[in-house]
Amino acid sequence: MTEDSGATAITHGRPRGRRLSGCLWAVIGAVVALALLLAAVALFGGSLLSRWSLFETETVDRTGPSVLKQLEDIEEFHAATGYFETVVDLEKDTEHLPGWISGERILYVGKGEVDAVVDFSGLGEQSVTVSEDGSTVEVSLPEPVLDEPSLDVEESYVVEHDRGLADRFKGSELEAEAQKKAVEQMREAASGGDTGMVQRAEHNTTAMLESLLGAAGFETVEVTYDAKG
């Protein structure tokens, strides 16, 4: 029994020595690592830490010239689009001859769209005003104007095209004339006050600038429109 008890004591004593040695080396390793880290900081200064910093600051330029450059880059903003459909009825008659012999008539349905555009390319320094505390920006823009109508040739179509006997064997330009007429009618319809395209364009442009400049840090964005441009 005595011999078994001594053997047991020796067996338990050896692992304690190994654990103590391992802890000592761990402490030494930590001290060395800390010393290397301090040496790196002393050598490279704050540049290394600032590169990896999670709290790195970013400088945002909210001065008038900076905002002006940002707006000029937009150039043209298509702020609203109107879709139009018009019917064109054109007829060409030959004097003293019935239509079935000489004459031509076309019924054409034209479809297309017209954009209301705001021009940002001509802005000047007086177009942008930033408050002293940088919280408010005022932008003065030209009033939206209607762009040229765009006729959708694929969606437009000829309903009827009648030609006299004498005209069936030669080329016809009546369809091209009908397309031009359709564009004219769409332009007139778009410029009518009841479409409200200019008002919608102003509303959409203001909303766009509030989002754009608000993201730049401005708390208040005021937009005015000058009919004279």
**pLDDT for residue 173:** 84
Looking at residue 15, what is its pLDDT? 46
Q: What is the pLDDT of residue 194?
A: 76
pLDDT at 144: 95
Is the separation of the CB atoms in 120 and 78 below 8 Å? no
Distance in angstroms (rounded) separating the CA atoms of residues 134 and 218:
7
Q: Closest Cα to residue 195, out of 33, 83, 65, 38?
A: 83
As a whole number of angstroms, the distance between CA 24 and CA 37 comes to 20
Beta strands at 76-93 and 103-119: parallel, antiparallel or unpaired: antiparallel
- Token pair 């910093």 is found at 53
Q: Tens of pLDDT along 54-81?
A: 445 454 455 556 788 888 888 899 999 9
Place of tokens 């702020």: 79
Please list, in sequence order, all residues whose beta carbon lies within 8 angstroms of the beta carbon of residue 228, skipping any fewer than 6 positions away: 142
Residue-range domain boundaries for the chain: 76-226
For the chain, residues with pLDDT lower than 50 are 1-17, 20, 48-49, 52-55, 57, 59-60, 229
